Amino acid sequence: MADEKREFLRHTLATVAYRGGKAIRDADAGFAEFRIGENPKTPSQIVAHIGDLMDWAVTMAEGKQSYNSSTPLLWNQEVQRFHAALGKFDEYLASDRPLAMSAEVMFQGPIADALTHVGQLAMLRRLAGTKMKSENYAKAEVVAGRVGAEQTPPKREFD
Residues of the chain with pLDDT under 70: 1-2
Alpha carbon separation from 121 to 32, 40, 117, 128 (Å, rounded)? 10, 12, 6, 10
Query: pTM value?
Result: 0.94
Q: State the pLDDT at residue 1.
A: 45
Fold classified for 4-147: Four Helix Bundle (Hemerythrin (Met), subunit A) (1.20.120)
Domain layout of the chain by residue ranges: 4-147
Q: State the pLDDT at residue 130.
A: 85
Rounded Cα distance between 73 and 51, Å, is: 11
Q: State the pLDDT at residue 143.
A: 96
